[in-house]
Amino acid sequence: MVAKLDKIFDSFVKNRLFKDKSILQISHTPNNITHRDEQIEEVAAILAPALTGEKASNLFLFGKTGTGKTLCVKYVCDEMLKRVKQDGQDNLKFVYINCKMGKAADTEYRILAEIIKGLGGSVPITGLPTGSVYDKFKELVDERKQMIVIILDEIDQAVKKNSDSFLYSLTRVNSDLKNSQISLIGISNSLVFKDYLDPRVRSSLGEEELVFPSYNALQLQDILKNRAENSFKEGALDEDVIPKCAAFAAREHGDARRALDLLRVAGEVAEREGSKKVIQGHIDKANDKLEKDNMLEAIKKQPIQFQLVLYSIMKLYSSKNKSSFFTGDVFREYENLCSETKNDVLTQRRVSDIIQEFDMLGLINTEVISKGRQGRTREIKLMISKKIFSNAEGILRDSLNI
DNA sequence: CGAGATTCATGTGAAGTATACCTTTAGGCTTAA
DNA sequence: AAGCCTAAAGGTATACTTCACATGAATCTCGTA
């Protein structure tokens, strides 16, 4: 037995294609960023005043997912921190918050709580008036002279879900501070995001703006090559692998994150298969796997009531032979499901909101339509592909005990 | 025949409720002097 | 008497409910050509 295992381990170690897989992880910040020199310089120029204790302008970054917004900002922040440390100071702080839905920070209160946590303080999960959380935040910031830069990633999500009032409050905080100053960096995936904003917020937050263009296939190739060099062993990649990865990702509006994920997972697939090289076929498999994993992960994380609603929609799909349903259909199915599974039944009002949230998550696609005499409703289309359907069903059954 | 009124099935906003959790405060108990 | 703990009081955020009004095109109505 031991010999057998040894053999497995041996072949694993021997067939290792990766040198350092972490380089391909999105969290990795490479020390040279390809095709983003211009943007980095601009960001650096805008933030530079913070080094001398002056308030840097608020900054707004636009660009589709995977165009390097977060990366560039983090890179500049790291460099600035290094610099500050060199000079033996520590009056500059960066706080990075991701406001993506479903994450911890998707309401005003929770965003603020996250910021405080990032500054080393702590706030209860609930119970405090938002106002006093602001006070605590100010106190924490103002206890000594310092510059604070708050980075709000995927800020459009937070504003869409709540309102822009918290941004207004944040931009106003400066006037209550004696010693310190805060600067805000908003990162948004949506290019039209600014139109949703209150004019006051727009003008104060958008002191500086920067648009990140999407990468084209060639740029993506450069990025991939750059990272593959250190993460894969020599000769581990078939020569057409990188072009194909780039092409795949370029098709999805030049998403570099996607390209890197693709390459990494392709490597993992190849390794698991015991292949000596990553070849094109592995990329196709990786593509499937990524799509699958992301969606299933999103489903798994949903609260029970949300899962019930989703399962109802899926059930309608497999029983009826239609491609879209209306809120009423879903709600009736949902009621049945709840009584079957002995779960509390939420009102249709609430279910309607839940459906809307699923739309935002991209698991379904909805459109409010009027059917004339048959009233007004949402047309709901499931966006879960056939390949994943049964896996998704399985996950839901599991967690709902069906 | 066509303009306007009707209608249906929900969308949507506002206000209210339940729950879980937080801080403050007052009273009671313990402890040390 | 001082210090500490506990329970009650008073307050908030969040998820959800209740109530009420808004929607918008198919369909109906009815006056008119």
Distance A121 CA to B25 C1' (A): 25
pLDDT of residue A175: 78
pLDDT in tens, A51-78: 887 888 888 888 888 888 888 888 888 8
Percentage above 90 pLDDT, chain A: 22
Nucleotides of C under 7 A from a protein CB: 10-20, 22-27
Note the pLDDT tens digit of each residue in A134-157. 777 887 887 778 888 888 888 877
A120 C-beta less than 7 Å away from strand C:
no
Comparison of pLDDT for A340 and A272, the residue scoring more: A340
Between strands A376-382 and A364-370, the pairing is: antiparallel
List bases, strand B, within 7 Å of protein CB: 6-14, 20-23
Going along chain A from its start, the domains and CATH numbers come out as 15-25+215-298 (1.10.8.60), 37-211 (3.40.50.300), 302-400 (1.10.10.10)
Gap between the Cα atoms of A72 and A343, Å rounded: 47
Q: Categorize the per-residue pLDDT at A19 as very low, low, confident or very high, splitting at 50, 70 and 90.
A: confident
Q: What is the pLDDT, as a whole number, of residue A11?
A: 66
Assess whether A370 (CB) lies less than 7 A from strand C: yes
Q: Which residue is nearest to nucleotide C26 (CA to C1')?
A: A372
What mean pLDDT value characterizes chain A?
83
